Amino acid sequence: MKKKLIVIGVVLLTLSLTVFGFINRDKQTTDTKVTASVETVADEEKEWITVKDEVVPPFISKVGPRFNSITKEDLLNAKSFEDFIGRAHIERIVSYKSLSVVVLENRDDTDYKLTTNGGSFSPEQLELLKTFDYSSDLRVDAYYAEKNAETGVVENSHWTPYLTVVPETQATYYNSKDAISNYLEHYSKEATYNLDRDQLKMGEVTFTVTKEGLVSNVAIESTSGFPNVDEKITELISNLPEKWQPAKNSLGEHVDQKFLIAFGARGC
């Protein structure tokens, strides 16, 4: 009788292990499928992983305009440097020395720069501001004397905001500012797993969301140092499973908008 019980127990244990093995195998198979589902990824929190006993931040560090955004309407209405800074900053400034508008190409200065004395834009500068279209980049350089908030001493200072012109209503993906970054984080894990973080650079890819809500002109602007990672990020952006909600201008008309995605190592 005891032998029969032992045999039955062994059989039951074997069956349990077999069933568990099949369930576990099915789960692994499901987990390895790359199903382009934004719904399941959009609400996920960005994971912080440990590599070589170091905490590593999310791989996608930015999705948006290149620099601080300013709408075309606000840019056209700007008359002085005070239109770019807060009230507390304005009240510290005693006098202006010069104010410049610099046209940028990506992150670099071009030869086109207009400078005036004082803190208000000259007629020529105001005309230049009118020429900036959506996704254009510029820098406003202001040199001035300001009162130190702690000591009250007047000191020379400067402020150089980098700006990207954006539509009045920017393009959005899946009704969430985090949806695309979470999607890219999720489906780039295989390519980014176990990278040598000492060799990793900050990569940048740009793309345009057309007035039809489609992605075009996907291009690597700077490499992460790992071609397979660059390729994976561009592949994912080029093949997003959902359309974007296109940007709109002040008249409610759909317009193109350019975006930049930063990934890999973080900048300073």
Model confidence at 56: pLDDT above 50: no
Query: Residues 181, 204: one domain?
Result: yes
Q: What is the pLDDT of residues 225-239, one digit of tens each?
A: 999 999 999 999 999
**3-state SS assignment for residue 113:** strand
Output phi, psi for 242, to 5 deg.
Answer: -125, 155
Cα–Cα distance, 137 to 255 (Å, whole number): 17
Residue 151 lies in a domain: yes
Q: Angle at which helices 179-187 and 227-238 pack, to 10 degrees?
A: 130
Determine, yes or no, domain membership for 228: yes
- Evaluate whether residue 212 is within a structural domain: yes
Both 114 and 40 in a single domain? Answer: no
Q: Is residue 235 part of a domain?
A: yes
**pLDDT tens readout for residues 96-150:** 999 999 999 988 999 999 999 999 999 999 999 999 999 999 999 999 999 998 9
- 24, part of any domain: no
Let me know whether 77 and 202 are in one domain. Answer: no
Q: Are 205 and 218 in contact (CB under 8 A)?
A: yes
Whether residue 143 sits in one domain with residue 227: no
Q: Which domain holds residue 161?
A: 68-166
Q: What pTM value is reported for the model?
A: 0.77
Q: Do 72 and 61 have their domain in common?
A: no
